[in-house]
Structure 1
């Protein structure tokens, strides 16, 4: 039981000064002293509770819009109440845009692409779907596109060479056969040179057709056919020129007629070799094989010496000019091959063009 209040003297009114009154005070609990105006006073329980409250840390502020306080377990001492002012840190992920903003931006993009109403509905449903659901729909769309591409390919007509491509093949075939760098006129060598030109300059070839064996075989077959036709035409012109005693310059002009090739000294010397071999074998069935053998002979004897090769062909050209149309006056200009023929010569020589 708590002790009863103890009366203490208290001065009365100023007028009397000698009267005293008794006032009860709460029971005292021993605590640290606090000085008030020089007197030692013990705090009551209520006062002590008030002082303890004042000595605690500042109370947690009320949440403010745009700011938040950290929980005690987010800090090391449990008293970190530093507000979050909205700035990002290295340990806090940035907030992603709301679905409403994404939907609004998507709606504008859909309008720009002029999608149909049912397609817009599909876009809306896609946005509202889960991540796994969207991935599944994307995969289904890819499979659907593959089916449509396969249907398109199966419905497409078989590939056919265009007239423009055939013209290019013919012209480049002539340029290859008259190139100063060609090593053979028959077989795979000239055909592969033409095919290399097609791969490099493409013309109107579909993309990747060289990897489609069936369609590429159509092109390769036509290249071989075109070269055969060109060789037959050149052989006939050479045969006729021998009978007509046509000079080499006129014969070369007839061979390159309707092609971009120029009548250069190098080209005339090649044609002179063709006419010399034709005169020797009288245009036999082995005519082009014999020319290839003669080219091989010159290349073997000259080795890697370009001057020796040039002297051999100059000798052939000199003999031809003395044999056919010797009485005629003409000049074979030292014409530099044009850019078109130079590109062909570079491909035949295996030179990479940047």
Structure 2
């Protein structure tokens, strides 16, 4: 037999819900109820198990597009992929959120939107007909963008940036309080001339700018912004000119930048905390393993389960846009570096 005739042989038929129903000994409607996690119909656990086992044996997978047509909407929750390093704290939070949404039977789709403007990104997202969009604020959205997503079927548009967007459910993450807590801690320790490390990396100003503003708003603090890249070379360059800056404390954007700077300051012969007090943010475990142990601002984020339930509620019961400002708290944690 020739190679061409082999390749022209028909492939195995794609299993259908009717095949699953026959294998499990139930109706096609029951198969649909079980595999689509329909809550309105009560089906016994043994029957659910039989249907799932039959589907697995046959290799049957429900057709998402067909299910969406029947329901009138998808179960897609679209999350633009962060295109800047957001750090371990936020990465863990986003992982928890995705798992929690999956347990609620949503399909989480991460969309790479690097290089797209607000209008371009929203048109691309709308093509997928998501039932909800969760934006971290890296792409600036407008009221018109929110309206476009809603016309495309999005029942909820949720933003998690430092400011609210008209028409969207806003979960306002107040980054200013992080800078304020750090600067207030340093002032309480008798430090007034504070250098605030601002990352040179593009995109992080979404978080770093309000943290700097929060530090500047603390009474008694004299704040100087200090750009620094996330590299040993940049930290060493800043440490080498530290004495000339006449600063007695540093608040770094987060613990990772703080650890880089503290190591460079020590290499430069500066004593921490005697000559320079150093504090970071995020309360990473590795900061507690350093010597001196790193002071930090501990940030309490909402749990993934809690935020997923808010998304689910917004999808099930669409309402006017709301704002929540109570989902994140911050407190300074004193250790040896201050």
TM range (shorter): under 0.3
Larger Rg: 1
More helix by share: 1
More strand by share: 2
Question: TM-score, structure 1 length as denominator?
Answer: 0.25
Question: TM-score, structure 2 length as denominator?
Answer: 0.26
Higher relative contact order (CA 8 A, sep 6+): 2
